[in-house]
Amino acid sequence: MPDPASEKPKTPCSGNCSCAGGNTTPPASANGTTRRAVLKGIGATLGIAAYAKALAPLTELTKQTSMDEFLQKHYKELSKDEIATVLKRLTRETKEQYGADVTINDPKPIDGVKFGYALNLSICNGCRKCAEACHIENNHDRPSHQSYIRVFEMTKGSMDFEKANAHYDHPVPQPDKYYMPVQCQQCEHPPCVDVCPVEATWKEKDGIVVVDYNWCIGCRYCEAACPYHARRFNWQKPQIPAAEINPVQSYLSNRIRPQGVMEKCTFCLHRTRNGRLPACLEACPTGARVFGDLNDPNSEIRWVLENKRVFVLKEELGLKPQFFYFFDE
């Protein structure tokens, strides 16, 4: 390679640049590095760095995710034995990650039962005890105060959620306000299920819309599709002290969710499918909540639907919620 410094330019370059006019050989420093080589080097380094960064989650995947979990089938495709294996693994993982001994079950819908929930707006006083009970029962992330129930403080005579306040922190009930707890309405035609690209969420026979937390990819389409803002996303791995973990858990409801998946109210199916009342109902000090089997003509929920002034939220959307609001006389 000829040394350009030793050669005089044959024709001076008219441009105001440092090129050796007419000479096509790129300029190089004394030790032979060209600018092109430097740029190539920088480009290659950045490229490798970007590639490594892009692959980095895979190293975490092997750390956090076992091969069994990675290869786990969709909930509906799991056989009885496979479910038992999965539940065993999840129990072990909870012990490893949270230090708590829990029992994870998989209660199935009860034949012929369809769950319904009604809430009496005349007596709800907005104390948010239901939201707190949900927070504890469903093993929600402690620092974010996560809960499936959001209580809106509404102005009397108005149904305008734009003007509602879900962050009130003054003594309740205020005289010119009423309080409207909103949670999953377990729609008959759930838009959240329609939009899920991987069928990680579906409606069960007893009317409960559930999520397979191990199948969910965390795209949050369902969160956007829900007109009741009822779905929550796990932005971070839930933090719960071992002593506060509710050990009675189920696969489709209150087991501790992984980071990056959606979660939602399941009417406490780990309780209700065993005949018990939901945690939010038991916590309500006013008795504003009524829960039961819509198929049983003698149930309390049916009495409310037949005898009270009942409405559903955003009826015009035609989603047919199984959550009802009602008034006293």
Residues in touch with another protein (CB under 8 A): 110, 118, 120, 123, 125-129, 131-132, 135, 143-145, 147, 150-151, 153, 155, 163-173, 235, 272, 274-277, 281-282, 284-287, 290-293, 299-300, 303-304, 307-308, 326, 328-329
State the nearest-atom distance from the C-beta of 218 to another protein, in Å: 14
Q: Give the residue with the Cβ less far from another protein, 20 or 289.
A: 289
State the nearest-atom distance from the C-beta of 128 to another protein, in Å: 4
CA-wise closest residue to 203 among 281, 294, 269: 269
CA-wise closest residue to 210 among 193, 233, 230: 193
Q: Give the residue with the Cβ less far from another protein, 221 or 291.
A: 291
User: DSSP string of 232-260?
Assistant: EE-SS-----GGG---EEETTTTSPPPTT
Tokens encoding 256: 């501790």
Q: Give the residue with the Cβ less far from another protein, 78 or 172.
A: 172
CA-wise closest residue to 251 among 221, 278, 216, 217: 216
Using DSSP, state whether 173 is helix, strand or coil. coil
State the nearest-atom distance from the C-beta of 248 to another protein, in Å: 14
Q: Give the residue with the Cβ less far from another protein, 233 or 251.
A: 233
The amino acid occupying position 112 is: G
Q: Give the residue with the Cβ less far from another protein, 141 or 212.
A: 141
- Strands 209-211 and 201-203 come out as antiparallel
Residue 192 backbone zone (phi > 0: left; psi -120 to 50: alpha; other: beta): alpha
State the nearest-atom distance from the C-beta of 233 to another protein, in Å: 9
State the nearest-atom distance from the C-beta of 304 to another protein, in Å: 5
State the nearest-atom distance from the C-beta of 183 to another protein, in Å: 13
Q: Give the residue with the Cβ less far from another protein, 281 or 319.
A: 281
- Strands 232-233 and 262-263 come out as antiparallel
